[in-house]
Copies of this chain bind each other. A is one copy, B any other.
Amino acid sequence: MSTDHATELHHPVRDELQLGEVLHALSDPVRLQIVQVLDRADGEVACGQFPLPVGKSTASHHFKVLREAGVVHERHEGTRRLHALRIDDLDARFPGLLATVLRAAAR
């Protein structure tokens, strides 16, 4: 059986996205790294897929920050949590912001 658990995690809706929160979420090196991987993956990635330099509890914390800032969407699938960038919503609120940051981070 599989119920939809995606709505159980509070994701802010598009209009609630705050620039300050997004910038703060992106200002941490670990979280920026996560966002970069997510961008390259161009799809959904599980937490374990990331070669992060921190323990799992810390990683879990960072994913929560990204989710609550509205940067990523999180979905439950079995024991894994799949994450994806909310590019559409971010681009609607802050056009070009994520792309610009990713390009800046890539160099």
Report the contact-size class of chain A (Cβ under 8 Å from the partner). 20 to 34
A19 contact set on B, CB distance < 8 A:
32, 101, 104-105
Which stretch in A6-14, A21-29, A81-89 binds the other chain? A21-29
Q: Is A43 an interface residue (CB 8 A)?
A: no
Given contacts A24-B27, A27-B27, A93-B104, 8 further A-B contacts (CB under 8 A): A19-B105, A20-B29, A23-B26, A94-B100, A95-B100, A95-B103, A95-B104, A96-B100
Q: Contact residues of A with B, CB < 8 Å?
A: 19-21, 23-24, 26-29, 32, 93-97, 100-101, 103-105, 107
Of B21, B23, B26, B96, which is within 8 A of A96 by CB? B96
